[in-house]
Chain A
């Protein structure tokens, strides 16, 4: 009953005109970047972080959340129509979705993707409402050792789930933790690695780093590949977006299973949207009476994964809001936005900021309805958007990066920090190093260092403190196991198979 009262309060917040407006803007921008290959939700949220500075925290987070789940919706459009995933979580949708389009069934494929996403998003919200307060309440009894262990597990799982070499992912995580030490040590007030540069006293800001890693590097990579490549776009007239009765019968179970799988995978750290959609596809294929037809245009192959990635995008808010631990890069960026507003996510977040938590939850219900309207009747518009050439897009992306990064501190130094991380990320992409573990480590670094040093002080220098309390012990052991499993051939093989599939989709 409490949850319903709180939700009603959340709706009173979300229905305020400016919140509704920015929920719509977020969903619209999210769909747009989801549709456009080459500009993902991470880059967009990084670009638009500074825009939220002038807003109230509720309005800002409502917009950023809208971009995230909007991109999950929009990503399926390009996957189905062009065979290019608009964002990574839609890779698997290409397999059956594009085949359906080639058979003249693009309408039902787009329809079931949007409707499945709506149902999954709504179900995951109910889960978020139930689980986040419970987890937040439980986390009140957590000490610094638990917080260190949660962040440690988050980081090790991101390393485990990264594509390519595990050693490289670990190097990136450690590099991120080191960059996170730049600035003033919060416990002693002494500076580290600042070299007398005033702009570094407060540390390396998340906005210039994220924009460099995702915005500038993306532009450099795309212009390096070449600007002339043309996409083959679906030319037939789209008709019959609503799935027929037979489609419904075949998809209903897939949507439910996808929602459940996506929800629970989303709670775990890592690229949950991608993993959720792959896990859902594998489950559908296994449970199907005709697994051999998967890949040839089966509607379950669209309904399940699309539901899963949307459910995961909602449930990934749970560890951030309830524990203060971001499980993926997008959550890290949203955490950055909260911190810029002076709000610390964690166990006290929900009780201390009911307007923010319940307002954002309620806005997600509204956003899901908006997305159905944006994605189904306006599909023709999104197809046209796909035709915008990159020669027009890339100067505009650079423009957004520059405005965004400068307005944080009115500092040209931040432009050069962004440029530095842009070049670094470009080189990292060329050498097989991933940006996600780096950025997550940069965000988690101060939390980890603080809780690690506090734990050691409490235990008089005994590392056993991380193993004395059961929750901390379980999390640390799981984290260590995920690192050690990289050395076990069977685990490594399974990871390589998954990476191969993701790589082919791209």
Chain B
């Protein structure tokens, strides 16, 4: 890793050390409600406690390293200005998919998801996106639902 990249990582290292430090504190709070036992008779809070301590120590080392680094010109988080939209749309589509999957059923929800991603994120034409969505949902239903007999939700179509 060169100096420029190393310096640019400073802020991210700072945030991630805070995240893991907060996580270790959360572990301590949770473990406080569990029986820890002793070295001779370790109970179910013992192992998480050890790792909570280890995580806290490592986060502090990471924090120390991040503070020592000098930031010059940070690298942007996103590779190009609009790329967060593609990531956001994909995550949003997957989140909505989880909500409607069992109601709409496999075929319809996969059709809409693939169609949306191909058109909005993959920038395909409407026709290409429709063909990809129809082909992939039908082929995957045939392969996984019918041939491999995997349980896929039928939803409003009933199959």
Q: Which residue numbers of A lie inside 8 Å of B, CB to CB?
A: 50-51, 54, 164-165, 167-168, 170-171, 174-175, 177-178, 181, 185, 187-188, 190, 192-193, 216, 219-220, 223-227, 391-392, 394-396, 398-399, 402-403, 406-407, 410, 412, 415-416, 419, 423, 426, 430-433, 449, 452-453, 456-457, 460-463, 496, 499
Contact = CB atoms under 8 A, between A and B. Distances in A.
A168 B98 CA distance: 32
A167 B44 contact: no
Nearest to A193: B30
Contacts of A461: 38-41
A396 B54 CA distance: 40
Contacts of B59: 171
Interface string B97-141: 110011000000010011001100111100000001000100010
Given A224-B79, A395-B122, A175 B148 contact: no
Contacts of A403: 140, 144, 150, 152
A407 B97 contact: no
Nearest to A393: B122
Given A394-B117, A396-B136, A407-B150, A432 B40 contact: no
Contacts of B150: 50-51, 54, 403, 407
Given A174-B55, A430-B12, A395 B102 contact: no
A491 to B, nearest CB: 17
Interface centre among B42, B83, B136, B151 (most CB of A within 10 A): B42
Contacts of B35: 190
B40 A224 contact: no
Contacts of A178: 23, 27, 48, 51-52, 55
A251 to B, nearest CB: 35
Contact of B55 (A50, A175, A416, A452): A175
B117 A171 contact: no
A460 to B, nearest CB: 5
B66 to A, nearest CB: 10
B58 A170 contact: yes
B136 A223 contact: no
Nearest to A403: B144
Nearest to A176: B51
Given A164-B1, A457-B41, A395 B95 contact: no
Given A399-B136, A419-B94, 6 more contacts: A167-B58, A220-B90, A225-B83, A398-B117, A461-B39, A463-B39
A104 to B, nearest CB: 36
A50 B144 CA distance: 10
B146 interface: no
Interface string B17-53: 0001001000100100011001111111111100110
A462 B38 CA distance: 11
A416 B102 CA distance: 14
A227 B124 CA distance: 11
**Best-surrounded residue of A178, A216, A416 (most CB of chain B within 10 A):** A178
20 contacts: A165-B65, A167-B58, A174-B55, A178-B27, A188-B43, A190-B34, A192-B30, A394-B122, A398-B113, A398-B114, A399-B136, A402-B94, A403-B150, A407-B151, A415-B94, A415-B97, A415-B101, A419-B95, A431-B9, A452-B47
A416 B98 contact: yes
Contacts of A50: 150
Nearest first, the 4 A-B pairs at minimum CB distance are A461-B40, A461-B39, A391-B122, A185-B44
Which of B1, B43, B44, B59 has most A Cβ within 10 Å?
A: B44
Nearest to B34: A192
A122 B86 CA distance: 45
A360 to B, nearest CB: 21
A406 B101 contact: yes
B70 to A, nearest CB: 17
A367 B42 CA distance: 47
A223 B86 contact: yes
B30 to A, nearest CB: 6
Contacts of A396: 114, 136
Nearest to B109: A402
Contacts of A167: 58, 61-62, 65
A142 B71 CA distance: 51
A423 B20 CA distance: 16
Task: Give the interface centre of B51, B77, B84 by most chain A CB atoms within 10 Å.
Answer: B51
Contacts of A499: 1
A179 to B, nearest CB: 10
Contact of B87 (A399, A426, A462, A463): A426
Nearest to A418: B94
A407 B102 CA distance: 12
B7 interface: no
B157 interface: no
A416 B101 CA distance: 12
Contacts of A185: 44
Nearest to B137: A399
A165 B64 CA distance: 14
A406 B152 CA distance: 8
A416 B97 CA distance: 10
Contacts of B55: 171, 174-175, 178
Given A219-B90, A223-B121, A399 B152 contact: no
B87 A188 contact: no
Contact of B58 (A171, A423, A431): A171
A51 B145 CA distance: 11
B90 A453 contact: no
A106 to B, nearest CB: 31
A423 B91 contact: yes
A226 B20 contact: no
Contact of B47 (A392, A395, A416, A453): A453
